[in-house]
A and B are shown apart, each in its own frame.
Chain A
């Protein structure tokens, strides 16, 4: 049987179908968001269901469900929380795609204040000012915490945790050799030289698994060499990133890598995975590890295996421009209410409950060694059975931020373009492919582009 369908007919049909598909894709990409949201209701009377997407995985998941889902549903029996778990590292991408298509969860999780600006500008998030005022959220959070969730003066997100960078060290090794914990550049460099002479790598480090480890070093140098004051001025546009203080900070860290004080060398830094870092520190092959509040679970596990002890100390003051002790504020996760949500009052009730039920939060922290929300914490909030290192860590962070002794982490306070530049180009500096001057010039250019696009997040002023 001969077919009457010619190649021309086939191509015409396919072209029409493709055009229809393209029109459908284009038309459906941005749903109408011009509707004015209803006024905030009473969260105590909220009911219904709320959809939450979470990337909590492994052993933490059961604790999350116990203390962040079941405990809430017990307090609010009229509200059901539907949790959908997404792979770590893909949650943000999936959320972004879903929100752009008019779908997604009711509770929107972002990786920090720097990311909510895009959602807020695209009118995908519900302003939270009414809920904050009705429920006294400013009293329940640390003074700077509510400000961190604002975009152009409007509150859009609440921080779900807070974290900082410190130096973890092998306490057993230090006590055996009588090494002091350094507080300034001279004592730090003396210690590094002494450790290296003893065949011990001064700093365990590596970005083989997570390239963004490099931005921790950028954060450290900007805040503890150039100083938090100058960093604040650069973030707010009052100073250029090409200032000699920032150029010299990159030069200093490059020198530390060249000497082999970090990871034993540049190439080893690029190939070292997290497990090797923890093992090196726990076994005394490395003396120190510069990292953040999220490391407690891993360090507990590895030091339990090695039978040695660990501690932490604040990052030393590397120049006269910095202060000591100073803790760089990081926010790893924020929560917002989707403008598409059918139950914004239900989500607000969940956020409010998180701030009020401190017991559930601290039980989750105790179970998982995770970071708590940035609420006013005291020694009474930490049960005796909790990891004392973690307790002292967050108490020190709260105390320092209350006194205005804090700096700014790149993943929280940098806009996306400049942030990406720091992550990628730091590696070029330590590989001798880029000079510190070129890094600073490129950083300034990237930051200026982001500033022109209105992407710089709200920078918290450093006041006591």
Chain B
């Protein structure tokens, strides 16, 4: 390109000259690190640093106050025989099993239905997402009230002559406490999944749907044979996120039941908090946290392994 090709609008500007390739290669590759440094430092201080410190403290008898002493694998040996920890892990696995099914199925259905309507789509999307943005303490207080036999839905139904909820203590019955906590958490979580899956569904090329219709597919066949395969990467991401967050679940269990009654809804996160701050066993709590991290890493590891083996997930 020469100066003669410049238009009148470009008159007065310095003519562009392409830089030779050898000059590009000499530019420092560390320039982008300078821009990444603030975020990297933040992550090191807030995330990576404490994470590495947790690994260290897991092998000590640290109380949280006194200098730690190295005790090898004693904390992990204790975990093997700690019935309370085993019970909490089982509760977390139940949590994960529920959250991998009910909210995901509801979110897929909700998102698919949203793609099929044109009117009030934004309204429904907002209503689905609203519980997710309300702070968990508020959500928990609302559900505590709703589930209270003396004040909530049971009392209102009873005033109408419907008594079948009167003797059902959702948060006070050790058989119902954990499912109730999981249900409340799912009620706040599924709307977030709807938004994620809806975005993925809207990215699906309409040509595939047209082709399917031409082949005689109905709506559900479109969903199973076009939509689901097309959103598989997003769905896999959602499932992995759900597993990880199920192992990290804390706030709703703590707000609603504090792990009770009688440990019926105890989760590893609550148990870990108890050992760290009430029992002054921060080293043991670190070992607990590290064990849960290992579970999560194992899940992600399986996913990465299968992807490398060519599985399309």
Binding site for B on A (CB under 8 A): 1-5, 13-14, 17-22, 24-26, 29-30, 92-93, 96-97, 99-100, 118-119, 121-124, 207-208, 211, 266-273, 276, 416-417, 420, 424-425, 427-428, 431, 433-434
Question: Are B262 and A268 in contact (CB-based, < 8 A)?
Answer: no
* Segment of B108-116, B127-135, B234-242, B271-279 in the binding face: B271-279
Question: Are A420 and B278 in contact (CB-based, < 8 A)?
Answer: yes
CA distance A272 to B173 in the complex (A): 12
CA distance A121 to B40 in the complex (A): 38
Q: Distance (Å) between the CB of B244 and the closest chain A CB?
A: 20
Question: Are B53 and A271 in contact (CB-based, < 8 A)?
Answer: no
Which residues 44-76 of B have a CB within 8 angstroms of A?
44-45, 48-53, 55-56, 63-68
Q: Distance (Å) between the CB of A460 and the closest chain B CB?
A: 23
Question: Are A427 and B262 in contact (CB-based, < 8 A)?
Answer: yes
Question: Are B53 and A268 in contact (CB-based, < 8 A)?
Answer: no
Contact of A122 among B33, B50, B63, B261 (CB under 8 A): B63
Within 8 Å CB of B149, what residues of A? 268, 271
Question: Are A25 and B169 in contact (CB-based, < 8 A)?
Answer: no
With A21-B52, A119-B65, A416-B279 known as contacts, the answer to whether A270 contacts B261 (CB < 8 A) is yes
Let me know if B20 is at the binding interface, CB within 8 A: no
Within 8 Å CB of B40, what residues of A? 14, 17
Chain B 127-161 interface mask (CB, 8 Å, partner A; 1/0): 00000000000000000100111110000000000
Within 8 Å CB of A5, what residues of B? 29-30, 32-33
Question: Are A25 and B49 in contact (CB-based, < 8 A)?
Answer: yes
Contact of B280 among A99, A273, A416 (CB under 8 A): A416
Question: Are A3 and B150 in contact (CB-based, < 8 A)?
Answer: no
With A3-B32, A30-B67, A267-B173 known as contacts, the answer to whether A431 contacts B278 (CB < 8 A) is no
Q: Distance (Å) between the CB of B293 and the closest chain A CB?
A: 14
Contact of A271 among B49, B65, B172, B258 (CB under 8 A): B172
> 27 A–B contact pairs at CB < 8 A?
A2-B25, A5-B29, A19-B52, A20-B49, A22-B52, A25-B52, A25-B53, A92-B277, A96-B64, A96-B65, A96-B277, A100-B64, A118-B280, A207-B260, A266-B172, A267-B172, A268-B169, A270-B171, A270-B172, A270-B261, A271-B147, A276-B151, A416-B279, A420-B279, A427-B261, A431-B174, A431-B261
Question: Are B174 and A21 in contact (CB-based, < 8 A)?
Answer: no
- For the residues of A in contact with B, the DSSP-based class is helix
With A270-B169, A433-B174 known as contacts, the answer to whether A30 contacts B66 (CB < 8 A) is yes
Question: Are A1 and B24 in contact (CB-based, < 8 A)?
Answer: yes
CA distance A2 to B32 in the complex (A): 12
With A3-B32, A25-B53 known as contacts, the answer to whether A118 contacts B172 (CB < 8 A) is no
Known: A17-B48, A270-B172. 17 other contacts (CB 8 A): A1-B24, A18-B48, A19-B52, A21-B44, A22-B52, A25-B52, A26-B56, A30-B68, A96-B277, A207-B260, A267-B173, A268-B169, A270-B261, A271-B172, A416-B278, A427-B261, A431-B174
Within 8 Å CB of B51, what residues of A? 18, 22
With A211-B258, A271-B169 known as contacts, the answer to whether A24 contacts B49 (CB < 8 A) is yes
With A93-B277, A271-B172, A276-B151 known as contacts, the answer to whether A122 contacts B66 (CB < 8 A) is yes
With A21-B48, A26-B53 known as contacts, the answer to whether A427 contacts B64 (CB < 8 A) is no
Q: Distance (Å) between the CB of A86 and the closest chain B CB?
A: 14
Q: Distance (Å) between the CB of A195 and the closest chain B CB?
A: 19
With A22-B53, A25-B50, A99-B65 known as contacts, the answer to whether A424 contacts B263 (CB < 8 A) is yes
Within 8 Å CB of B52, what residues of A? 18-19, 21-22, 25
Let me know if B118 is at the binding interface, CB within 8 A: no
Within 8 Å CB of A434, what residues of B? 262
Q: What is the chain A residue whose CB lies nearest that of B147?
A: A271
Let me know if B27 is at the binding interface, CB within 8 A: yes
A-B residue pairs, 9 tightest by C-beta: A21-B49, A22-B52, A270-B172, A271-B172, A122-B65, A25-B53, A4-B29, A267-B169, A427-B262
Within 8 Å CB of B278, what residues of A? 416, 420
Within 8 Å CB of B53, what residues of A? 21-22, 25-26, 29
Question: Are A431 and B262 in contact (CB-based, < 8 A)?
Answer: yes
With A18-B48, A21-B45 known as contacts, the answer to whether A124 contacts B65 (CB < 8 A) is yes
Within 8 Å CB of A122, what residues of B? 63, 65-66
Question: Are A271 and B262 in contact (CB-based, < 8 A)?
Answer: no
CA distance A130 to B147 in the complex (A): 56
Within 8 Å CB of B55, what residues of A? 22
Q: What is the chain A residue whose CB lies nearest that of B46?
A: A21
CA distance A427 to B169 in the complex (A): 15
Q: Distance (Å) between the CB of B284 and the closest chain A CB?
A: 11
Within 8 Å CB of B150, what residues of A? 272, 276
Within 8 Å CB of A13, what residues of B? 33
Question: Are B171 and A208 in contact (CB-based, < 8 A)?
Answer: yes
Q: Distance (Å) between the CB of B16 and the closest chain A CB?
A: 17
Within 8 Å CB of B173, what residues of A? 267, 270
Q: Distance (Å) between the CB of A94 and the closest chain B CB?
A: 10
